[in-house]
Amino acid sequence: MNAICNLSQLLEQSQCQYKIFDLGRRIQSIDNKEFKQVERGEKPYPYPLQRYAHLAVTYWNHSQQPWIWFLKFPLDERGLLNQTDIGNFLKYVTEAMGAHLSQELSEEQQQHLANNPYTFKPNDDKMALFHSLIRAELSLPTSQYYEHAQHYFSGQLGWNNWQTVGLQGITDMVSRLDSEQNGVLIRKALPHLTATTTQPALYALLGALEHVSLPNKLAQRLFELAQQECQASQPDLFLISAYVRALSGAHSDYLQPLLESIFAQAELSHSEILIAIAGRCWAQLNTEARAGKFLLRLAQTNNQTLFNQLFADLVMIPELRFTFLPLLSHTPSPELANALYALQQQTKAR
């Protein structure tokens, strides 16, 4: 038996099929080959959040019932996993389960495995969607709330009766947008959910959509609603933030014009919207022009702490690192130059 040095080896040696997901930003899969390179320290973690890797490790055998670990590992200044942390977690696993993972755990074993510093619990909304996505991917049954949610979004129950709809039913629909006309039902329902009385249902739906890829017609409808809100005489900044997050899985043809509309209006530079862009739509900040506009609006919030946190977070993302770093020495405005100077001074003081 080969010595086990990383999670992939342990999973493969146990003859399990597995998938790795990032849960820090959007719920998105990480290719197994890429994850092996990350584990070996050959490349940085692709989706860092606040200098941590937030992982869901899902594995299953012939029974198709998946086991899931939610893991959180610190990253170094280069965005690399610490091999010692991986080794320590493997030690917890092998002490609790042995060298094979296909066995059922006793309550004592489960407790022993849970008592380690690398596990974390995602928030309830993200947990609900993740479980729906996994069950859809493995062709497992939906929750008991699925059919009721379909009836609601078809308009059969009355739009104001959103209190009867379970979140798990919404996430089941969102994780199956291409099945049973779910994408069409949601797209046609959206205009009915913008009223004040139905906004809780709208926010629940938008929160689920931010973690999946959107069909173009649904993305187009969300984009239109977001643009309408941006152009309103008194725009709802929190609703715009929710639309931005929901569109993070849309084609850039929809997302980029929305971001340009936001950057063009100083009154939309609310911290909630800028946090949404940084947390969910970071891939759209991959040009110096858009990165500069984003940082300028962030500087104009006059919240230096938030500026420092978001800059430090974005510069850790491998695909953005060499877009954001040059801005430290070349900035388009005095406001942004001052914010970046304050950031550098604080960094030097540490």
Q: Give me the residue spans of the domains in the chain.
A: 7-114, 124-349
Least confident segment among 135-144, 263-272, 300-309, 336-345:
336-345
Contact 30, 54 (CB under 8 A): no
Instruction: Say what the pLDDT of residue 112 is.
Output: 65
**DSSP reduced 3-state for 29:** strand
Q: How far apart are CA 3 and CA 9, in angstroms?
A: 9
Band (pLDDT 50/70/90 cuts) for residue 116 is confident
Average pLDDT over residues 86-98: 82
Instruction: Say what the pLDDT of residue 300 is.
Output: 93
Dihedral sign (CA 205, 209, 214, 219) = positive
Our CA angle for 338, 340, 342, nearest 5°, is 70
**Encoded amino acid at 314, one letter:** L
Structure tokens at 51: 């200098």
Contact 265, 230 (CB under 8 A): yes
Band (pLDDT 50/70/90 cuts) for residue 341 is confident
Dihedral sign (CA 22, 25, 28, 30) = negative
Structure tokens at 289: 């022009």
Q: Is the pLDDT at 62 greater than 90, yes or no?
A: no
List pLDDT tens digits, range 162-193: 999 999 999 999 999 999 999 999 999 999 99
Our CA angle for 215, 217, 222, nearest 5°, is 95
Contacts of 313 (CB under 8 A, 6+ apart): 48, 49, 50, 51, 278
List pLDDT tens digits, range 309-331: 999 999 999 999 999 999 888 76
Residue 68 bridge partners (DSSP): 58
Q: How far apart are CA 98 and CA 115, in angstroms?
A: 16
Band (pLDDT 50/70/90 cuts) for residue 242 is very high
Instruction: Say what the pLDDT of residue 209 is.
Output: 98
